[in-house]
Structure 1
Amino acid sequence: MDSSKEVSLEIFPYIRVYKDGTFDRLTGFEIAPPGLDPETRVESKDVLILPDTGISARIYRPSSASASAAKKLPLVIYFHGGAFIIASIADPKYHASLNAFVAESDIIVVSVDYRRVPEYPLPAAYDDSWAALQWIASGEARRESWLRDQADFDRLFLIGDSGGANMSHHLAMRLRGDVLGERVKLSGIGMIQPYFWGETPIGAEVADPGRKALVDSWWRFVCASDKGCDDPLINPFADGAPGVNGLACEKVLVIVSEKDILRDRGRLYYDKLAESGGAVAAEIMEIEGEDHVFQIFDPSCEKAKRLFKRMASFVNSDGDDHNKESAE
């Protein structure tokens, strides 16, 4: 970080932009290599999936999968959070949390390294995530040995936290009206502390204008929209936005945290799903006493373990136990 240059903008806690146009990310730039995790016995490796844009993914599998290739495991496409500004598939915190999730769930995970703001303005992240889904549906993905031998492409889930959950929603909406939806059977989406927002405060946002203004600044930095925080990308229930009608999946799990300023947006998303009366089964889990993406910061804590267990149950269930709510 360069402290000698004049700062033009700081988006706390993510990025500092200087008047000469350069910037420093303030967090989320650490790197952890793939490989065998000695604690969870989960294996991982990096693969280039989109040569034209240089987009890669980190694939995770339980170590037992290599010894039992005949058993096909659910396939999860994971999108990390970071407000579209920070983090990557190699972030040590995300790497540790996905090791824990895979170990608990007995699944295959493809974590997508989409491009970030400000180098690549939105909708680059959404476009990369859509292209990753196209890659999953292509013959190229089936030529990747771990996926070919161990992934069940008919049990496909999109899961993300924060901004990654936001993208999971938009991908599931886009699939319904696209020819890709004829080739991709999406079993469900997992929305962990989803990053949705809006101009008009709701719930806890009303009593906390400081945090409301902070989250406003995040979105206005990454998305140059004249609709501000009512852009349909961040507010699926703004005027003219499609809401949740048309999700191309069988079920949705929304997980929110009690102290998270985004909590009420996640609950609203669940409520709208439950009210829609459509074919999508909705579940919600609220974690008491925790804030945004606490499970990324401490994946070994007991509440993180309960979160991973709930996601594992969601991915591995047969679809008979839905439309439920629980508080942990």
Structure 2
Amino acid sequence: MNTPPSPSGAEHTDGSSIRLGALAPLTRPGWIEAGRHLLAGLDLAVREVNDAGGIDGRPLELVVRDTAADPERAATAVDELAGLGVAAVAGEYHSVVARAAATRADALGVPFLCSSAVLNALTEEPTAWVARLAPPQSHGWRTYADFLLGTGRRRIAVATQPSVYWASGTRVLREHLTPRGGTVIELDTNAHTPEALRDALVDHGATALLLLVGHPEPAVPIVKAVRADRRLAKILIGAPAGQPEFAEWATALGADGAGIPFLRYLPERLGPLGERVGKELRERLGEAPSFVAFEGWDTIAVLADMLRSHGTDRAAIAKSWPRMAVEGTRGPIRFTRTPGISVWQRAWTPIQVVDRDPANPDHFRILHTG
């Protein structure tokens, strides 16, 4: 949907702040830890812009709204932020929530830079108003499927919950694995207790179980049940959506949470900018920053560059996606049109398959890159 834009944020010359809207899951049932890391990255970058003099002498102001993983709440927040005169909206982690925000931003004519959500179809129709930093699900999850094939895993069970995001992920896996001799078996966690799911894995002869479910419930009970069953000692448990990235996972599962591969959007080695920002983020968070925190910082770096060039005019910002080029924490950032993707897409974010080292769960092992 591409209706005429709403009035852009008014230009000021009196040093008043430039407002940017920020969406993040900060309360349950949202993934709070992801929201905290995303907001840390956004806030650090805003502070650095302001410490360097702001945008033509005007400070950036981050106007934060908690989505709590609720699509309707996110859409309402975009309405509110647009009314407050933000130059653009940024952020969000949950894909279904980001889709609601993107759809509303498109309808209102407000630029939206999605930081972390990967669902391919962020909008139903192509839009000039929305761009994304994270790789699309089809790209990342095919990389994960290649990793599974490389380890000899071809009978793949997926523990699922009803969701557009999980259904899309299952479809990507099936379409990539089936022509290469793999099979995908769906196990609905609403119809299976962790114990019944465990028995189904044995009955199907599954060689891998992928957790396409929420965290901590039901992911944590499923992992505990599978780890406790000697019949499944050789099965690989995977979590492509990234649940093991955060410290909360290790706290809940201890040693049982190690050796569970997931997708992470980082290069093998950070450059000088990434190293510096990573150090600052670690100090803020009190723990190692996840890739989500880097996504937050990169989001503001992009928007600040666009504001320096185009001011707060929303239409001018939206037109500049394909022309901008910024050095991010994980490499150069440019946007392009990608077949099958309705928004301006960063091409390409580094992709890793990693896990927590069973010998040292605080250490991540890189298992595969794509």
- TM-score normalized with structure 1 length: 0.38
Choose 1 or 2 for highest CA Rg.
Answer: 2
Structure showing the higher helix proportion among its residues: 2
